[in-house]
């Protein structure tokens, strides 16, 4: 069996989500470790008056690319922007870009809408409809050898059993859900959303589960691999130790506790803080594409990309508190420390006492000082936790 670097030699790759944390590290790793690949096409949408090309240049200017820039100043020559949007039909690609990618052999789809508060229609279009568009694109590529989808280890967190490396049957078929988008207006969809979510803790996890089922339903004849990372943390080694370019998931919670913004969380002290460094996930994605291609099988393969180390939330927050005191953050607002509770009524009390009241008091003081308020705004951005997503079943 050929090695991973040899597998990627001379091949063209299509990536989505490179402006995100995982996609950014994945792009750098491919360029650095597989220097003989042909071309990497990256799907980027225009945003806030910023062109797709400008957004790519912003990504490539990150510090994470500095080691690569030193060793290979022309690395960007192997990266080509494809303008589009996973939330649009057919990814919003024009015919010229489709023709440009006709030699693509590997697709790694990591783009997703991770916002819990977004409208139901929008997140379904991006996270489920986008996967259908990726499947349709895959069928037009004669040289396709592997399609890798980045899911989440919590896609089936509602199940009270050990999660196997397989696709579970959802409560609604993905095709039926996409059909609902066509026949229902936004108000109807928002009204249906709580019933559709059922035991799922949020819209993001719900759509990731449906996306997996869609791949099983509509791409079972393609060489598909699903990778399920748990909470993504800063880099372990590559491209730089501790590298992170965005606060999300576990990093957001750690930052919020370390700055004193969050003083109470709704989870178990002994629950497993299952997380994995971003570079480990990037390596897994690259290897998953190689594995699914070299096996030459049409059976969908699932990889649970989680940690083996049993780190409890008690231990994690003990370390966070110690580090926050020893190395205070510039944005610290209160002495760090956090209460972990499993009773929802007690958590509601703590939330009002520790978060809501201080936020309004802070804004009141700043108002009389003639300063801009930010307490309530920060409160709305406070990362929420759910015991259903922190236990390892």
Give the residue-averaged pLDDT of 234-260.
Answer: 81
H or E stretch at 82: strand 79-83
Q: Please write the tens of the pLDDT for every residue from 132-157.
A: 999 999 999 999 999 999 999 999 98
User: Highest-confidence range of 27-31, 47-51, 228-232, 235-239, by mean pLDDT?
Assistant: 27-31
More confident residue, 267 or 178: 178
298 has a pLDDT exceeding 70: no
Question: Hey, which residues does 12 pair with through a beta bridge?
Answer: 39, 104
Q: Tell me how far apart the alpha carbons of residues 229 and 225 are, in angstroms, rounded to a whole number.
A: 13
More confident residue, 363 or 196: 196
pLDDT of amino acid 391: 34
Q: Which of 29-38, 76-85, 117-126, 269-278 has the lowest mean pLDDT?
A: 269-278
Secondary structure percentages of the chain, helix, strand, coil, to 5: 45, 15, 40
Give the residue-averaged pLDDT of 224-232.
Answer: 92
Q: Please, are residues 223 and 288 in contact by the beta-carbon 8 Å criterion?
A: no
Which of helix, strand or coil describes residue 384?
A: coil
Domains of the chain: 4-230+276-305 (3.40.50.720), 244-273+312-393 (no CATH)
More confident residue, 204 or 295: 204
Model confidence at 393, pLDDT cuts 50, 70, 90, reads: very low
Give the residue-averaged pLDDT of 118-143.
Answer: 93
- Look up tokens 């019933």; give the residue: 195
pLDDT of amino acid 140: 92
pLDDT of amino acid 392: 33
90 has a pLDDT exceeding 50: yes
Which of helix, strand or coil describes residue 217?
A: helix
Q: Tell me how far apart the alpha carbons of residues 246 and 349 are, in angstroms, rounded to a whole number.
A: 31
- The radius of gyration of the chain's CA atoms, rounded to the nearest angstrom, is 22
Structure-derived torsion over alpha carbons of residues 300, 283, 22, 159, reported in degrees to the nearest 10: 50
Structure-derived torsion over alpha carbons of residues 308, 311, 313, 314, reported in degrees to the nearest 10: 160
384 has a pLDDT exceeding 60: no
**pTM for the whole thing?**
0.87
Q: Which residues contact 143 (CB under 8 A, 6 or more apart)?
A: 102, 103, 104, 105
310 has a pLDDT exceeding 80: no
Give backbone dihedrals phi and psi of 195, rounded to 5 degrees, phi first: -70, -35
Give the residue-averaged pLDDT of 68-86.
Answer: 92
Q: How far apart are the first and last CA of the chain?
A: 35
Q: Which of 18-22, 93-97, 144-148, 371-375 has the lowest mean pLDDT?
A: 371-375
Q: Tell me how far apart the alpha carbons of residues 119 and 189 are, in angstroms, rounded to a whole number.
A: 9
For residues 122-157, one letter each, b for 16 or more C-beta atoms within 10 angstroms of the residue's C-beta and e for the rest, the string is: bbbbbbbbbbbbbbebbeebeebbbbbbbbbbbbbb
Which of helix, strand or coil describes residue 346?
A: helix
**Cα–Cα nearest to 257, from 355, 154, 386:** 355
On average, the pLDDT of the chain sits at 87
Residues 344, 122, 155, 18, CA torsion sign? negative
Return the percentage of the chain with pLDDT > 90, whole number: 47
Q: Please, are residues 210 and 228 in contact by the beta-carbon 8 Å criterion?
A: no
Model confidence at 103, pLDDT cuts 50, 70, 90, reads: very high
Which long-range contacts (C-beta less than 8 Å, at least 24 apart) are formed by 51-55? 52/81, 52/82, 52/83, 53/81, 55/19
**Cα–Cα nearest to 137, from 192, 88, 90, 185:** 90
Q: Which of 139-143, 161-165, 203-207 has the lowest mean pLDDT?
A: 161-165
Q: Please write the tens of the pLDDT for every residue from 332-354.
A: 888 888 888 989 899 999 989 98
Give the residue-averaged pLDDT of 266-275.
Answer: 83
């Amino acid at each position: 069996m050929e090695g991973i670097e040899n597998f990627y030699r001379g091949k063209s790759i299509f990536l989505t989500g490179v402006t995100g944390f995982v996609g950014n590290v994945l792009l750098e790793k491919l360029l650095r470790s597989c220097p003989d690949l042909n071309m990497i096409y990256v799907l980027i949408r225009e945003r806030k008056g910023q062109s797709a090309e400008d957004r790519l240049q912003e990504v490539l200017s990150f510090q994470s690319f500095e080691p690569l820039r030193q060793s290979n100043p022309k690395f960007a020559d192997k990266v080509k922007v494809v303008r589009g949007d996973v939330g649009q039909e057919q990814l919003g690609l024009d015919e010229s870009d489709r023709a440009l990618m006709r030699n693509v052999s590997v697709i790694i789809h990591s783009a997703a809408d991770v916002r819990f508060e977004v409208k139901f229609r929008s997140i379904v279009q991006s996270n489920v409809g986008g996967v259908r568009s990726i499947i349709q694109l895959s069928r037009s590529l004669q040289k396709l050898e592997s399609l890798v989808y980045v899911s989440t280890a919590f896609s089936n967190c509602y199940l009270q059993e050990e999660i196997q490396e397989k696709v579970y049957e959802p409560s609604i078929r993905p095709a039926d859900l996409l059909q609902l988008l066509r026949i229902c207006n936004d108000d109807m969809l928002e009204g249906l959303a709580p019933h559709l979510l059922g035991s799922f803790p949020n819209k993001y996890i719900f759509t990731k589960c449906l996306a997996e089922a869609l791949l099983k339903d509509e791409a079972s004849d393609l060489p598909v691999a699903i990778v399920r990372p748990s909470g993504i943390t800063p880099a372990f080694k590559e491209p730089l130790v501790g590298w992170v370019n965005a606060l999300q998931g576990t990093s957001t919670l750690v930052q919020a506790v370390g700055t004193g913004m969050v003083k109470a969380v709704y989870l178990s002290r002994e629950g497993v803080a299952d997380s994995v460094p971003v570079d480990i996930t990037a390596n897994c994605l690259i290897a998953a594409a190689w594995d699914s291609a070299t096996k030459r099988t049409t059976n969908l393969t699932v990889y649970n990309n989680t940690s083996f180390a049993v780190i409890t939330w008690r231990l994690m927050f003990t370390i966070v508190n110690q580090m926050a005191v020893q190395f205070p953050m510039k944005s610290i607002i209160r002495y760090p420390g956090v209460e972990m509770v499993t009773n929802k009524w007690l958590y509601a009390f703590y939330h009002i006492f520790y978060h809501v009241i201080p936020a309004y008091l802070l804004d009141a003081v700043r108002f009389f000082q003639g300063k801009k308020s930010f307490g309530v705004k920060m409160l709305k951005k406070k990362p929420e936790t759910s015991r259903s997503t922190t236990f390892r079943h």
